[in-house]
Copies of this chain bind each other. A is one copy, B any other.
């Protein structure tokens, strides 16, 4: 039987991974608001520097989740995690008893809301390590990377997760499953917590310039994230800060996702990436003055942007 997938949030992440699943033989529908007319008529134009160029024609193109016809094996939630988006409400009407809920999203401690709302469903947490942009209506540019990490909550790998992983691999992208996906979120946060906000607060510096000028500051933030992770039960490797620093020195100068949002006057994932980490620190009684400073300044920046 054909695997049925519904992608909610068909932007640079959702449309790209949806296109891969369709390539692997799944029946892939999309909920897609802003580019609805374009995608309905012409599908998505996927331009990948790694996998080539092709058109992704979804099986259904929908304005609302409620319009979905059929029973989804997987609902893939790929929106940004921002306070104005109610993630539970977005997916509820497409979730059946056997639907696995997959979220491929940024941030830490973003799981519980979904787990609480769907206590009887399988919940798969996903992380994308990718550089992709939406370059126009229905236009997705995949520049580099693309690895996915998938794992069930609270900490195992189900058959359904393994199968989804296999589909992504068949489509040509690296995908790994893990029994410690929550730990993986904290690992990703070690990099995101400094570079995302610093790229915005600096007024638009790429990662390399930030690092070359303020490596000690970047390290201080990373170390605080490691301490929070440990306090929440996720001990990261001792050398993770060094590895991240070395890796970033070798990357080409890179504009973070938060900087791209900032430059495009789009809401930023401040709460998912920084706010949730700070709240975890406060809850665990850990002092994180560097992260608190960055969070306070991002809140001031947003206050000014929304003024």
Where the two chains meet, the residues of A that have a C-beta atom closer than 8 Å to any C-beta of B are 198, 201-205, 209-210, 213-214, 216-217, 220, 289-290, 292-294, 296-297, 299-301, 303-305, 307
Contacts and interface: CB of A to CB of B under 8 A. Distances in A.
Contacts of A205: 300, 303-304, 307
Contact of A303 (B202, B293, B304): B202
A59 B128 CA distance: 70
B202 A293 contact: no
Tell me which of A209, A214, A301 has the highest count of chain B C-beta atoms within 10 A of its own C-beta.
Answer: A214
Contacts of A293: 217, 289-290, 293-294, 297
Total identical chains: 2
Contacts of A220: 289, 292
A102 B213 CA distance: 35
A303 B213 contact: yes
A209 to B, nearest CB: 6
Sorted nearest first, the 7 A-B pairs with minimum C-beta distance are A293-B293, A289-B289, A202-B300, A217-B296, A203-B304, A214-B296, A202-B304
A31 B27 CA distance: 78
A301 B202 contact: yes
A298 to B, nearest CB: 10
B213 A292 contact: no
A290 B224 CA distance: 13
Describe A's contact surface by its main secondary structure. Answer: helix
B201 A303 contact: no
A278 to B, nearest CB: 11
Given A209-B300, A213-B300, 10 more contacts: A202-B303, A203-B305, A204-B304, A205-B304, A209-B303, A210-B300, A214-B300, A220-B289, A289-B293, A297-B297
Tell me which of A202, A216, A294, A305 has the highest count of chain B C-beta atoms within 10 A of its own C-beta.
Answer: A202
Nearest to A204: B304
Nearest to A297: B201
Nearest to A215: B296
A97 B292 CA distance: 52
Contacts of A303: 202, 205, 209, 213
A221 to B, nearest CB: 9
11 contacts: A198-B300, A201-B201, A201-B300, A202-B297, A203-B304, A205-B300, A209-B300, A210-B300, A214-B300, A217-B293, A289-B293
A300 B292 CA distance: 18
Tell me which of A204, A292, A293, A297 has the highest count of chain B C-beta atoms within 10 A of its own C-beta.
Answer: A293
A245 to B, nearest CB: 15
Contacts of A209: 300, 303-304, 307
A76 to B, nearest CB: 35
Nearest to A224: B289
